[in-house]
Structure 1
Amino acid sequence: MEYKVINLLQTRELKAKFTKSEESILDFIEKNFDKIPKYSVVKLCEEAYASQASVNRVCKKLGFKGFSELKYSIEQDLEKMESSKSLSINNTFFYIENINFQDVQGIAEVIKENRKILIYGLGASQITASYLQRQLLYLGFQAI
């Protein structure tokens, strides 16, 4: 999922050079990311101990016309994050509800009988496969 602001703040891979005060504004925005859409520029300046001119320079160096556009983009990022989180939660519930425990019991019995297990994982699944292999080795199974 492509975020406009949070990726810029976290990676800091920007062409523009930032002064120390501008860096502190970026740090404040990153730490208070979810609160920024509710802030006015004056409140941000008070909380971040910065001037309005510095805030506007930061916004322009980030590629926005001003603080209002930055706020709007942060709000969009937050909505994308929330929808992504909800989608992940819904997918998890879907998979849990659709587990066929009778099949799982059958697989467990086959594993108990053979005691030799080949596990395959690629990419992020490799981490889970390695963990499962280690746990099965602890239990006395031959797992590769």
Structure 2
Amino acid sequence: MPPNDNILLKLREIKESLTPVEKLIAEYILENTYEIPSLSIKELAIRSKTSDASVLRFCKTIGYKSYREFIVSISTSLGSMDEEETDQYTDIQPGDDLQTIINNISLNNCKSIEDTLKVISRSEIEKAVDLLIKTQKIDFYGIGASGLVCMDAQQKFMRINKMCHAYTDSHSQLTAATLLKKGDVAVIISNSGKTLEILDALEVAKKMGASVIAITRYSKSYLAEGADVVLNISTPEVTIRSGAMGSRIAMLNTIDILFAGVASAEYQNVRKYLSKTHNIILNKQRN
């Protein structure tokens, strides 16, 4: 497990996709975090109204070989929480003054990136960058706010001469996915990972033999299960008024990481393209 791994953050993200029994355990842990390190497996089972076997299965479900390993991770995460407890997500409130809005929105965006760094897998990033380096064609699929991220991704990868296109509606996504082949890459962006149109595109892309990279919230979802590579993001526990803001920022940051990874690995080849695209825009501005 990476040193900045935060199991409490991951539990918050994945809680709603757990089984009913696992959810009982997760909710008890999140509501009573500071007492968890001192509890035995039997004590946690009793307090969460489950069983010893359920607690052990829960630990394995979230990636731990033993209850002891899970407790060590909880203790580490609590130490991290103590250092960051003042940096909490804040939702938009009626009547907020402008300075409060400036501070809160900026904090939420920074927090989304920081929390994403605690759930995203470095090995999955490496796999994604490797796929994007080797492929000749990249499709970006996303609906709504995720579609805006796709358009940003297209603009970036186009600058290094990658054949790519952003598809932001269900019909064009299905049409494009049908034309994919083995060796092509579909980057599917969805916060929930459960949007029906996105799942249709996933099914077709896989059927055509393309590799699929998913950028989605850290949670169990059909998109995460069906993708070849999963890049998880973390989004704030706030209402719909500001929730999409944080997820969009986290997704944009992930796209920037992928772009920089590909550009850095192929720098000798892409430098000329970056220079040419920079110069043509610069000359246009001067004229």
Q: TM-score, normalised by structure 1?
A: 0.53
Tell me the CA shift for residue 8 of structure 1.
1.1
Pairwise CA RMSD: 3.0
Structure 2 counterpart of 1:4 = 6
Which residue identity lines up with residue 21 of structure 1 in the other structure? Answer: V
State the partner residue of 2:54: 54
Partner Cα separation in structure 2 for residue 45 and residue 13 of structure 1 = 17
Aligned counterparts, 1:29-68, within 5 A: 29-68=29-68
Q: Aligned in 2, Cα 1:47/1:85: closer, same or farther, shift over 3 Å?
A: closer
Structure 1 residue matching 2:65: 3-state secondary structure: coil
Within-5 A mapping of 1:101-112: none
Tell me: CA distance 1:28–1:85, structure 2 relative to 1, closer, same or farther (3 Å): closer
CA distance in 2, matches of 1:85, 1:25: 23
- d(CA) in 2 for partners of 1:2 and 1:38? 22
Pair 1:33–1:68, CA change in 2 (3 A): same
The superposition leaves residues 98-117 of structure 1 with CA deviations (integer Å, 9 ceiling, x where unpaired) of xxxxxxxxxxxxxxxxxxxx
Note closer, same or farther for the CA distance 1:26–1:13 as it changes in structure 2 (3 Å cut): closer
Given the superposition, is the C-alpha separation of residues 44 and 11 from structure 1 closer, same or farther in structure 2, using an over 3 Å criterion? same
| d(CA) in 2 for partners of 1:125, 1:23 | 35
- Matched position secondary structure for 1:59: helix
C-alpha displacement of 1:35: 1.1
Name the amino acid aligned to 1:8: K
Task: Compare CA radii of gyration and give the structure with the larger one.
Answer: 1
Q: Deviations over 1:70-117 (max 9, x none)?
A: 11001001112223459x9xxxxxxxxxxxxxxxxxxxxxxxxxxxxx
Task: Give the corresponding residue for 2:18.
Answer: 18
Q: Distance in 2 between matches of 1:43 and 1:58?
A: 15
Q: Which runs of 5+ in 2 are unaligned?
A: 88-98, 104-287
Structure with greater strand percent? 2
Listed as ranges, the gaps of 5+ residues in structure 1 are 89-123, 129-144
* 2:37–2:72 contact (8 Å) kept in structure 1: yes
Which structure 1 residue ranges, 4+ long, deviate > 4 Å from structure 2? Answer: none
Structure 1 residues 125 and 48, CA gap change in structure 2 (3 angstroms): closer
Structure in which a larger fraction of residues adopt helix: 1
Q: Distance in 1 between matches of 2:66 and 2:4?
A: 21
Question: 2: distance between equivalents of 1:23 and 1:13?
Answer: 6
The 1:70/1:127 distance shift into structure 2, 3 A limit, reads: same
